[in-house]
C-alpha cells in the first residue's frame, strides 16, 4: 500500500502531544480497563491502544506481542490517511489497504481488525483497536462499542494532558479531581453494563455514584415512553415529588425535563420559583426543597431522545462549563445502559414472540405450559391444551394472497385474546396454528363454554381487503395429566385431536383419544407411500360421463384420479389429495393426470366423436405456485396434436376470491390458448357473482347439494333455476352435478340446463368401461 508523503507540519503536530509519554498511573489504569472492555465487548482475543507522540510511541495492549517503533509509526500514518474515522475489516488478508503494514505482520495470525481514530485538539493522535484470529461480523460505527470507548480514551488523554501540563496549578488540581470522579463513575458503570446488570439497578447506581462523588447534588433519570417521561431512578428525591413528575407529558416549557425531552437540548433553570417552566410544579419543588434544576437529554446513537438526566440543588445555582460537561457525560453513560437494555429486550422479544401477531411463539408457549404443569401438580387440578387450526385458511392465502392471510391471522389472534382470561396463554406456532393453555381446569362445563365461545367468535365473518371472508377453526383438546405427562406429548395429542375435529366437518372440537395416535401414524405412512405411488404406477383414471340433456348423448366426461395401494387397496382422493397439496406432490401428480387424459381424449376423438371434451380437476396450488408452469401443459397439447378445446379445467370458485393477478394471468393464458375453464361446486364457496364477469369461465357446475335437495317447491329449485338463467345471460354453459333421479332430470330439462352428471347416468368407471359407454352413445 503506498501513502502520500508526510505533512510538513507533522512534527509540529506531534510536538503538541509531547506530554503523552508520561501518563499518570491512574490514567494508565483507566486506559487498561478500557482496553479490557474493548476486548470483552467485541469478543476479541486482543485489544490495543496506540498513541504516537514526538518522542516515539506509547502503546498499551491486552495481548503478549512485541511491536517495533517503526511498525507503530507506519500504522499510525496509514490509518491517519484513511478518510474514515472508523475501520472494521472482516479479514485483513483480503484487504489491499493492509498490504505491507508492519503492524499486521507483528501480530501473529491476525484476521479480524477493527479500529477507531483518536483525536486530541482536532488532530489524530492514535487509535483504539481490537483484533482476532477468526472472522467476525462487521458492526457499523454507530453500533460499535469502540465508538464510545474511543471517546472515553480521548477524554482520559485530554484529562491527563491537562494534568501533566498544569499539575502545579491549584485550579488544574481541582479539575483533575473532578475528572477522576467522573472517570470512577464512568468505569464503575461501564463494568456493570458489560456484565448485564439490570437497567433499573444501573440507573440507580449512576445516580448514587454521582451524588456520592459530587456532594450537594440530587439526581434523577427519567425515561421517554411515547410522549411521556416515566421514572427511571431518583432514590434521593422524595417519593411525593417523584409521583408528581412521573408520567408527565413532554412539551415546550414543561419543567426542566419536559422541555429538555421536547427540544432535545440542555435546559438550565437556576431558580425554580421564578422560572416560568416550573409554574405548575413550584409548590411541590419547594416542599421537596429543590431550588434549581439542570436537565440534559439522554440521546441514543441516532441522536433521538431516550430520556433525561437531571441535577437538582437545594439552592439557586447556575452550572459552570465543567458542570455542563459532567452532566453531558452522565447522560452519555446512561444512554449506553438504556440502549443495551433495549437491544437485549428486542432480542428477547424476537426470540419469544411472533412478529406478525405479537402472540407468544412456541418457545415462550412451552415455558408457560411448563409453569402451568407445575402449578397443576401443586394444586391438584388439570391443564387443558387446545390446538387450533383455521379451516380453509389455505384457500384464503391462495386466492387473496399472503397479505390477506396475514390480516386474517392478526384479526383472529385479537378475537381469541378477548375471550381468554389474563392467566391463560394463546400462542401462534406458525402458519394458521395456535395453541391455548388453560390452567386450573376443575370441571368440564367451564372448558366446554370456553371452546364454544372460541368456535363462535372465530367463525364470525372477517372484512379483509373490502371483502367478507368466512373462516372457522377446528380445535383439538388434550388434558394434563390424563392425555400426557409432558409438554411434547400434550402438544402432539392435541394436534392429533385437531385432525379429529376436522374429520367431523370443521368448525368443531374433539378431545384426544388413543385411536387418534393410530390415525396420525397412518397419515404419516400414507404421505410416505404417496411419494412412491407415481413412480410405482399405482394411480389410474376413472371417468364419469356428462350428458347433453337435449340429445341424451355423452359429450363430456370428468376425469377422476384413483390410487390403488398395494396393501390398503383403493384409497379415497379425500384422503390423499390434501396430503399431496401440503407436500407439493400435487404438481407432479397433476402433470401425470393431464398427460393421461390428453392421450385418452386424442384416441377417443379420433375413434368416436371429435367434439368429446374431458374435464380435469385442478388444485389452487397449480395457479398460485411459482413452480407450476402452464406452458408445460400447452406444449404437451401441441406435441401430441390435440386441440386445446378437448380439455376443460375445473377450478373451485374460492380461487376467484380477490384480484389475484398471478392467478388471473394463468387462467387467461389457458383461455387464450383455447382450453376451457369450468367453475366446480358453484354456490358453496366465497366468490361473488361479479367474478364471473372478471375471470374467464366457460362452464358452471351446480353443486350436487342443490340438485339432490331439489323438488318442485324447494328453495334449491329456485336457486338452480336462477343460476341457469344467469349463466345463459352471461353466455356460460351449465352442468348439473349429482343427478340421481328422473324427477331431478325432468326439472333440470325444463329449466334449460345444458348438461347433467350423476349416478342416474353412470357412476365413475374405468377407461375401458367408459370407452364402451362412449361407443354405445355415439
Residue keyed to cell 363462535: 456
Query: Which residues have C-beta within 8 Å of that of residue 757, sequence separation ≥ 6?
Result: 544, 545, 546, 547, 558, 701, 735, 736, 737, 738, 739
- Cβ count within 10 A of residue 504: 11
What's the pLDDT at 2?
A: 29
User: How far apart, in whole angstroms, are the C-alpha atoms of residue 528 and residue 288?
Assistant: 76
Instruction: Provide block-wise average pLDDT over 10 residues at a time, the chain (778 residues).
Output: 35 39 78 88 86 64 64 70 80 79 74 87 83 82 77 85 63 62 74 78 87 85 95 94 94 94 95 94 93 94 94 92 86 89 85 93 94 93 94 83 91 95 93 94 79 93 88 93 91 92 87 68 82 92 96 96 93 88 88 96 95 92 72 93 95 65 82 91 65 82 87 79 90 94 93 95 96 92
Query: Which three three-digit cell numbers place residue 396?
Result: 384464503
* Rounded alpha-carbon distances, angstroms, from residue 700 to 208, 677, 703, 755: 79, 9, 9, 10
- Cβ count within 10 A of residue 347: 10
What's the pLDDT at 122?
A: 78
Q: What is the pTM of this model?
A: 0.47
| Domains of the chain and CATH, by start | 10-167 (3.30.450.40), 192-349 (3.30.450.40), 362-512 (3.30.70.270), 586-760 (3.20.20.450)
HEC string of 408-435 equals HHHHHHHHHHHHCCCCCEEEEEECCEEE
Phi/psi at 168 (nearest 5 deg)?
A: -85, -10
* Region label for 67, one of left (φ > 0), alpha (ψ between -120 and 50) or beta (otherwise): beta
* Rounded alpha-carbon distances, angstroms, from residue 539 to 564, 572, 616: 6, 11, 15
Query: Which three three-digit cell numbers place residue 503?
Result: 374429520
Phi/psi at 469 (nearest 5 deg)?
A: -110, 135
What's the pLDDT at 656?
A: 62
Burial of 709 (0-12, 13-18, 19+ CB in 10 A): middle
What's the pLDDT at 445?
A: 63
Phi/psi at 175 (nearest 5 deg)?
A: -60, -40
Query: Which residues have C-beta within 8 Å of that of residue 370, sequence separation ≥ 6?
Result: 487
User: How far apart, in whole angstroms, are the C-alpha atoms of residue 545 and residue 556?
Assistant: 6
| DSSP output for 211-249 | HHHSTT-EEEEEEEETTEEEEEE-TTS-HHHHHHHTTEE
* Rounded alpha-carbon distances, angstroms, from residue 757 to 81, 736, 741: 85, 6, 11
Question: SS3 of 539, please?
Answer: strand
| DSSP output for 352-418 | HB-TTT--B-HHHHHHHHHHHHHHHHHHT-EEEEEEEEEETHHHHHHHH-HHHHHHHHHHHHHHHHH
Question: SS3 of 95, please?
Answer: coil
Amino acid at each position: 500500500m503506498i501513502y502520500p508523503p508526510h505533512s510538513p507540519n507533522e512534527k509540529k503536530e506531534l510536538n503538541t502531544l509531547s506530554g503523552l509519554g508520561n501518563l499518570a498511573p491512574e490514567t494508565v489504569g483507566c486506559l487498561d480497563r478500557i482496553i479490557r472492555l474493548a476486548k470483552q465487548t467485541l469478543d476479541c482475543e486482543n485489544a490495543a491502544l496506540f498513541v504516537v507522540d514526538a518522542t516515539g510511541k506509547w502503546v498499551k495492549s491486552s495481548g503478549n506481542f512485541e511491536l517495533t517503533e517503526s511498525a507503530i509509526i507506519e500504522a499510525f500514518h496509514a490509518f491517519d490517511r484513511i478518510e474514515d474515522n472508523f475501520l472494521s475489516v472482516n479479514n485483513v488478508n483480503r484487504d489491499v489497504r493492509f498490504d505491507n503494514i508492519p503492524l499486521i505482520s507483528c501480530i501473529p495470525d491476525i484476521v479480524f481488525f477493527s479500529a477507531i481514530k483518536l483525536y486530541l485538539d482536532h488532530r489524530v493522535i492514535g487509535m483504539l483497536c481490537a483484533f482476532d484470529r477468526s472472522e467476525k461480523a462487521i458492526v457499523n460505527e454507530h453500533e460499535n462499542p469502540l465508538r464510545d470507548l474511543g471517546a472515553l480514551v480521548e477524554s482520559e488523554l485530554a484529562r491527563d494532558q491537562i494534568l501533566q501540563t498544569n499539575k502545579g496549578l491549584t485550579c488544574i488540581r481541582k479539575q483533575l479531581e473532578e475528572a477522576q470522579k467522573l472517570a470512577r463513575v464512568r468505569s464503575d458503570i461501564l463494568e456493570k453494563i458489560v456484565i448485564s446488570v439490570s437497567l433499573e439497578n444501573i440507573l440507580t447506581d449512576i445516580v448514587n455514584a454521582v451524588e456520592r462523588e459530587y456532594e450537594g447534588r440530587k439526581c434523577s433519570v427519567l425515561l421517554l415512553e411515547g410522549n411521556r417521561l416515566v421514572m427511571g431512578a431518583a432514590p434521593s428525591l422524595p417519593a411525593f415529588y417523584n409521583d408528581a413528575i412521573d408520567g408527565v407529558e413532554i412539551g415546550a416549557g414543561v419543567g426542566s425535563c419536559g422541555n429538555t425531552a421536547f427540544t432535545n437540548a440542555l435546559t438550565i433553570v437556576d431558580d425554580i420559583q421564578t422560572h416560568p417552566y416550573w409554574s405548575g410544579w413550584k409548590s411541590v419543588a419547594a416542599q421537596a426543597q429543590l431550588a434549581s434544576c439542570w436537565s440534559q437529554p439522554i440521546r441514543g446513537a441516532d441522536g433521538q431522545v431516550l430520556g433525561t438526566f437531571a441535577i437538582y440543588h437545594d439552592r439557586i445555582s447556575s452550572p459552570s462549563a465543567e458542570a455542563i460537561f459532567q452532566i453531558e457525560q452522565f447522560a452519555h453513560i446512561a444512554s449506553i445502559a438504556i440502549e443495551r437494555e433495549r437491544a437485549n429486550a428486542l432480542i428477547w422479544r424476537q426470540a419469544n414472540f411472533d412478529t406478525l401477531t405479537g402472540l407468544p411463539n412456541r418457545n415462550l408457549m412451552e415455558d408457560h405450559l411448563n409453569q402451568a404443569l407445575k402449578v397443576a401438580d401443586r394444586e391438584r387440578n388439570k391443564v387443558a391444551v387446545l390446538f387450533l387450526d383455521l379451516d380453509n385458511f389455505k384457500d384464503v392465502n391462495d386466492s387473496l394472497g399472503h397479505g390477506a392471510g396475514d390480516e386474517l391471522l392478526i384479526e383472529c389472534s385479537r378475537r381469541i385474546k378477548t375471550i381468554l382470561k389474563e392467566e391463560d396463554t394463546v400462542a401462534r406456532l406458525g402458519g394458521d396454528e395456535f395453541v391455548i393453555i388453560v390452567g386450573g381446569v376443575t370441571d368440564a362445563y367451564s372448558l366446554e363454554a370456553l371452546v364454544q365461545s372460541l368456535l363462535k367468535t372465530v367463525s364470525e365473518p372477517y372484512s379483509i381487503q373490502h371483502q367478507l371472508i368466512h373462516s372457522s377453526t377446528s380445535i383439538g383438546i388434550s388434558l394434563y395429566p390424563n392425555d400426557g405427562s409432558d409438554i411434547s406429548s400434550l402438544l402432539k395429542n392435541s394436534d392429533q385431536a385437531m385432525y379429529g375435529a376436522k374429520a367431523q366437518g370443521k368448525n368443531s372440537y374433539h378431545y384426544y383419544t388413543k385411536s387418534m395416535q393410530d390415525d396420525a401414524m397412518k397419515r404419516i405412512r400414507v404421505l410416505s407411500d404417496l411419494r412412491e405411488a407415481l413412480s410405482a404406477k399405482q394411480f389410474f383414471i376413472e371417468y364419469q360421463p356428462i350428458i347433453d340433456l337435449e340429445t341424451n348423448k355423452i359429450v363430456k366426461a370428468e376425469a377422476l384420479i384413483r390410487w390403488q395401494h398395494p396393501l390398503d387397496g383403493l384409497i379415497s382422493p379425500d384422503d390423499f389429495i390434501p396430503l399431496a397439496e401440503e407436500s407439493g406432490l400435487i404438481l407432479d401428480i397433476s402433470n401425470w393426470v393431464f398427460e393421461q387424459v390428453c392421450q385418452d381424449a386424442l384416441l377417443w376423438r379420433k375413434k368416436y366423436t371429435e367434439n368429446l371434451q374431458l374435464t380435469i380437476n385442478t388444485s389452487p396450488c397449480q395457479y398460485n405456485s411459482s413452480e407450476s408452469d402452464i406452458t408445460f401443459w400447452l406444449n404437451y397439447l401441441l406435441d401430441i396434436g390435440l386441440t386445446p378445446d378437448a380439455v376443460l379445467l375445473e377450478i373451485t370458485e374460492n380461487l376467484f376470491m380477490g384480484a389475484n393477478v398471478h392467478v388471473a394471468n394463468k387462467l387467461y393464458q389457458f383461455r387464450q390458448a383455447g382450453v376451457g375453464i369450468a367453475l366446480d361446486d358453484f354456490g358453496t364457496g366465497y366468490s361473488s357473482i361479479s367474478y364471473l364477469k372478471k375471470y374467464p369461465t366457460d362452464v358452471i357446475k351446480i353443486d350436487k347439494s342443490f340438485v339432490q335437495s331439489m323438488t318442485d317447491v324447494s328453495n334449491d329449485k329456485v336457486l338452480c333455476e336462477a343460476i341457469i338463467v344467469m349463466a345463459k345471460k352471461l353466455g356460460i354453459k351449465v352442468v348439473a352435478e349429482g343427478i340421481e333421479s328422473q324427477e331431478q332430470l325432468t326439472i333440470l330439462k325444463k329449466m334449460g340446463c345444458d348438461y347433467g352428471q350423476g349416478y342416474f347416468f353412470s357412476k365413475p368407471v374405468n377407461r375401458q368401461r367408459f370407452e364402451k359407454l362412449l361407443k354405445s352413445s355415439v
